[in-house]
Amino acid sequence: MQHINHGNNHHEMKLEHGKLHVFANEEIFQSFESKVYEMANNNLRIPRNVYMSYTPDAHVGVGTCIGTTAVWRMKDGCVSPSIVGVDIGCGMRVHTTPLHRNDIQDKGVRRALISAIEKYVPTNERTNSHYADIDLLNIVKHGLLGLPEKYVPDNQWMTHVEQSSFQFDHAYLENHLPPRIQKNAHGQLGTLGGGNHFIEIQYLEINEEQRELAAKWGLFEGQVVVMIHSGSRAWGAMLGREYTRSLKEAMELWGVQNPDPNLIYAPIASQEGGAYLNLMYSALNFAVTNRHMIAFGVREAFREVFGSALELPVLYDLMHNYALKEFHDNKPMLVHRKGATRALPPQHFLNTPAYRATGHPALIPGSMGTSSYIMIGREEGSKNFYSICHGAGRARSRRATKELVTIDQFQQSLRIGTEDEVLVNHRSLETILDECPQAYKDVDAIIDSIVGASLADVVAKCKPMAAIKGI
């Protein structure tokens, strides 16, 4: 393996089957284990790869590392469920409020908010959606455009998103869906899910150099915001499992082999690849609508506590698990991002119209008890197909975390007992110990890597005040 250091946190690794670009500062770069390069080399065996990279939060996943950007040409390339991820369309959403941190500094107010949010947003896997009146097929066909009007507070909820509706051939819904998918998924619209999904109440610290941009986005120092992390729930999970199985069978028929049996792919032009790609877009429609409905519930909770006149404008909604057709250098490409966030600069044509002039907010969560970030993409990001990190990235597995981290250490991370305590919705921290900050990399080092690589800049740091986790 040959290593070329291009400077500015940009490393190029020449592996047996192709080139891997790694964007990380020295501390993070040295922390990568050999397995991440082994997985990259396997991924690069997929024919006609155009580009592949890791962001600094990269870590071992199933078939492909989380933190991967991988690109193929639409005309002769491949699509891979392994480089999309199981939670298709998983992503971030931020809503602003007119509140200042002082308005919710009192723990009683924050506990009231947590209680209200749990009332409107199911966080228990056994609790069904509050929105049984929503036609699920309308949602998976049309995304936000399939919602009844009463669930759209204003037009901004439709326009301040990466994409409100993903177009695909609806005929695939008739012939290629896994059994029971509609039944399983219908009860989950507007629900949080478990694992690393969350709703977090935060306050902002604005980057001095970006105050003008922050003001244009409606952000101010000390402002209370709500960050949401969730995805496509059962709809995406069942599609992912079904098409991992069917594409694997097709690969065996074609005689295609790879050292990693979990790495699955097919030509875009094949029947199997086309079916997966079309149905993946249905999962993206579910995911963006799921976050919308979670946010709708959060809005109801805030209004219950602070009065019915309170509004929660959308800052932005984006994904970090998907494969999307994009034009780069006027050529149609299929850009896979698995645990990677698109961060477009000002005036880029792919920006949603609401953010064409300024560039859009790139939303990067930290871990429980640590800061999250709102960033803005830079022109130089073109060298990485405008991909940046999607979070802190796991440093150790869930099992290892439970073995190595104590409840006392977790409590210290959340500043339990202090005025600045990060309140959580779980009576026992033991139930969410595998999501403690010690399970993740240092998010500040991750952000330093991205800024140092000139991929994006920090607009605001989001400091946690309360966290709602699913179980």
Half-sphere exposure of 165 (CA within 13 A, CB side): 14
pLDDT score recorded for residue 170 = 96
Residue 255 has a CB neighbour count (10 Å cut-off) of 6
pLDDT digits (tens, 9 = 90+) for 394-443: 888 888 888 888 888 888 888 988 888 999 997 678 888 888 888 898 99
Is 227 a member of any domain? yes
pLDDT digits (tens, 9 = 90+) for 370-394: 999 999 999 999 999 999 999 998 8
Pick the more confident residue, 419 or 149.
149
pLDDT digits (tens, 9 = 90+) for 447-465: 999 999 999 999 999 999 9
Do residues 459 and 204 make contact, with C-beta atoms less than 8 angstroms apart?
A: no
Do residues 203 and 224 make contact, with C-beta atoms less than 8 angstroms apart?
A: yes
pLDDT score recorded for residue 367 = 86
Is 427 a member of any domain? no
Look at the pTM and tell me if it is higher than 0.85. yes
Is 226 a member of any domain? yes
Contacts of residue 303, defined as CB under 8 A and 6 or more positions apart, other chains included, come to: 309, 310
pLDDT score recorded for residue 253 = 94
pLDDT score recorded for residue 377 = 98
Residues designated catalytic: 390
Strands (DSSP E) found in 132-222: 198-206
Q: What percent of the chain has pLDDT over 70?
A: 100
Is 404 a member of any domain? no
Domain span including residue 455? 2-395+440-469
Do residues 116 and 261 make contact, with C-beta atoms less than 8 angstroms apart?
A: no
User: Which CATH number covers residue 295?
Assistant: 3.90.1860.10
Closest by alpha carbon to 466, among 204, 110, 102?
110
Query: Residue 470 — pLDDT band, cuts 50, 70, 90?
Result: confident
Closest by alpha carbon to 260, among 41, 84, 428, 57?
41
Residue 117 has a CB neighbour count (10 Å cut-off) of 25
- Please count the structural domains in the chain: 1
Is 413 a member of any domain? no
Helices (H) and strands (E) in the chain, counts: 13, 19
